[in-house]
Amino acid sequence: MANLVIDNVIKRYGQTEVLKGINIAIEAGEFLILVGPSGCGKSTLMNSIAGLEEVTEGRILIDDKDVTYANPKDRDIAMVFQSYALYPNMTVEQNISFGLEMRKVPKEDRDIEVKRVAEMLQITHLLHRKPAQLSGGQRQRVAMGRALARRPQLYLFDEPLSNLDAKLRVEMRTEIKKLHQKLGTTIVYVTHDQIEAMTLADRIAVMKDGEVQQLGTPQEIYDNPANLFVAGFMGSPAMNFIPTKVVATDTGPMLELDAVQKTLLPFPNKACLESYVGKTIMLGLRPEMITEPQAHKDGQPFVITTEINVEVTEPMGADTMILTRVKENEINCRSHPAYPAKPGDNIKMMFDTSKAVAFDQETGVRLDV
Partner 1 sequence: MKTNAINAEPNKARAGRPARLTLADWMPKIVMAPTVIVTLVCMYGYMIWTAVLSMTNSRMLPSYDFVGLSQYERLFNNDRWIVALTNLGIFGGLFILICLVLGVILAIFLDQKIRSEGAIRTIYLYPMAISFIVTGTAWKWLLNPTNGFEKLMIDMGFTDFTFDWLVNPDKVVYCLVIAAVWQASGFVMALFLAGLRGVDGDLIKAAQLDGANTFTTYRRIILPSLKPVFFSAMVILSHIAIKSFDLVAALTNGGPGYSSDLPANFMYAHTFTRSQIGLGSASAMVMLGCVLAILVPYLYSELRGERNE
Partner 2 sequence: MSNIKAIRRKTTAIERLLRVALYLVLISVAAIYLLPFIVMLITSLKDVEEIRTGTLLSLPASLHFDSWSKAWSSACTGSTCDGISPFFLNSFQIVIPAVIISTVLGAINGYVISMWKFRGSDLFFAALLIGCFIPFQVILLPMARTLGWLGIANTTTGLVFVHVVYGVAFTTLFFRNFYQSVPGELVKAARLDGAGFFTIFYRIILPISTPIIVVTVIWQFTQIWNDFLFGVAFSGFDTQPVTVALNNLVNTSFGGKEYNVDMAAAIMAALPTLIVYVLAGKYFVRGLTAGAVKG
82 binds, among partner 2, partner 1, none (CB under 5 to 8 A by kind): partner 2
In the chain, the amino acid numbered 66 is D
Q: Is 8 or 83 the residue whose CB approaches partner 2 more closely?
A: 83
Nearer to partner 1, 71 or 251 (CB): 71
Question: Which of 1, 75, 34, 53 minimizes the C-alpha distance to 189?
Answer: 34
Of 104, 87, 19, nearest to 53 by C-alpha is 19
Pick from 10, 58, 63, 98 the residue near partner 2 by CB under 8 A: 98
- Per CB under 8 A, contacts with partner 2 among 32-61 are 47, 50, 52
DSSP state of 124: G
Smallest distance, partner 2 to C-beta of residue 48, A = 12
Q: Which amino acid is at 79?
A: M
Determine if residue 283 is left, alpha or beta; phi over 0 gives left, psi from -120 to 50 gives alpha, anything else beta.
beta
Beta carbon nearer to partner 1, 73 or 348 = 73
Helices and strands, number each (H, E), in the chain: 8, 21
Rounded distance, CA 86 to CA 313, Å? 45
Other CB atoms within 10 A of residue 208 CB:
19
Nearest CA-CA partner of 115 in 139, 131, 141, 96: 96
Assess 133 for contact with partner 2 (CB under 8 A). Answer: no
Q: Counting contacts by CB under 8 A, is residue 239 touching partner 2?
A: no
Instruction: Give yes or no for residue 87 binding partner 2 (CB under 8 A).
Output: yes
Between 12 and 297, name the residue whose CB sits nearer to partner 1: 12
User: Does residue number 72 form part of the binding site for partner 2 (CB under 8 A)?
Assistant: yes
Contacted entry of partner 2, partner 1, none for residue 81, CB cut-off 5 to 8 Å set by kind: partner 2
Among residues 284, 333, 294, the alpha carbon closest in space to that of 311 is found at: 333
Q: Is 103 in the site for partner 2 (CB under 8 A)?
A: yes
From the list 70-78, 247-255, 301-309, 356-364, the region that binds partner 2 by CB under 8 A is 70-78
Binding site for partner 2 (CB under 8 A): 47, 50, 52, 72-73, 77-79, 81-83, 85, 87-89, 98-99, 102-103, 146, 150
